[in-house]
Amino acid sequence: MDRKRILIAGSSGLIGRQLIAFFDTADHEVWRLVRGTPGKNQIQWKPSEGVINPQDLEGFDAVIHLGGAGIGDKRWTKKRMELLRESRTQSTELLAKTIAQLEKKPEVFIVASAIGFYGNRGDEELTEESPRGEGFLPDICDAWEQSAQPARDAGIRTIHCRTSLVLDATGGALKKMLLPTQLGAGGPIGWGKQWYSWMAMDDQVYGIHHVMMTKECDGVYNFSSPTPVRQKTFAKILGKVLWRPSFIPVPTFGIWFLLGKMGVTLATDSSKVLPNRLIESGYEFQYATLEPALRDALGKWND
């Protein structure tokens, strides 16, 4: 395997931490873009101010951008919604324009995106060929992906990983589900018929490495397992893994009261997303079905 010199933005996030740990074990040379005072193998930038030193970015084989304010971290006030958009588009555009002008451009530019691109689509099967949806999240994801266009125009292989619900007990959506489930209140949300598309953390990390190392990979890839499930099925399997009942319905108005529009959108939107292009590119999933993926994420193999 070729050793790569890799620059990562968003390295302190849920996926970034795991990705760096994997790259380290694979003997790649990893550097981080940071907003604070830089340390060893770190480069400072200030994306909200458009500040970055192009000379610091010369000579990297791959640039990976995972940054952006957390979609599910806080209520969607008007100010928060502006931050969610700008934290993605400004930083991506800054990186794309900077690497496009380098003397030694990277081989590949990988930018996170999300299956929020598709919006609330009911039972429709969604592939990379499906059109964008309507609403706040599709608007953000579309603008996010378009922000990378300068890199693509410069001939840099540019990839968007449309990420689904990544299973990790230390953060993200799964962590938020654990306490209600452990208390016996992790049942169906509403009717529970909405589709949840998910991805094991191992597959998220290995998948990013796969598209980075596979020169034929370019464009958009759905990062979701080949077996999405309805929310009531997700709740049932999570309850089974945790040895907790999962049949008590969770009313939508309760989520609205606690978390506002953000909570309702993330909990009730239905997206049945399939990773067609990732599979066609030769990637083989470590966890194609939900129960083994949850057991691995939660360390419940011996139950």
Would 229 be classed as within a structural domain? yes
Supply the CATH number for residue 164's domain.
3.40.50.720
Would 261 be classed as within a structural domain? yes
Would 303 be classed as within a structural domain? no
Instruction: Return d(Cα 135, Cα 262) in angstroms, integer.
Output: 12
Would 244 be classed as within a structural domain? yes
41-91 confidence digits (pLDDT tens): 999 999 999 999 999 999 999 999 998 888 877 777 899 889 999 999 999
Instruction: Return d(Cα 248, Cα 235) in angstroms, integer.
Output: 10
Q: Chain centroid to CA 101: how far? A: 27
Residue stretches of the chain with pLDDT short of 70: 1, 185, 247-267, 302-303
- In Å, what is the CA distance from 85 to each residue of 92, 101, 128, 139, 228? 11, 25, 22, 9, 27
Phi then psi dihedrals of residue 60, to 5 deg? -85, 145
List residues bridging with 195 in a β-sheet. 230
Q: Give the pLDDT score at 262.
A: 47
List residues bridging with 163 in a β-sheet. 114, 223
Q: Give the pLDDT score at 303.
A: 47
Structural domain for 144, as ranges: 5-298
Coil/strand/helix, residue 250: strand
223-237 confidence digits (pLDDT tens): 999 999 999 999 999
Would 34 be classed as within a structural domain? yes
Would 262 be classed as within a structural domain? yes
- In Å, what is the CA distance from 204 to each residue of 31, 42, 91? 20, 24, 22
Instruction: Return d(Cα 31, Cα 195) in angstroms, integer.
Output: 37
Number of structural domains found in the chain: 1
Would 44 be classed as within a structural domain? yes
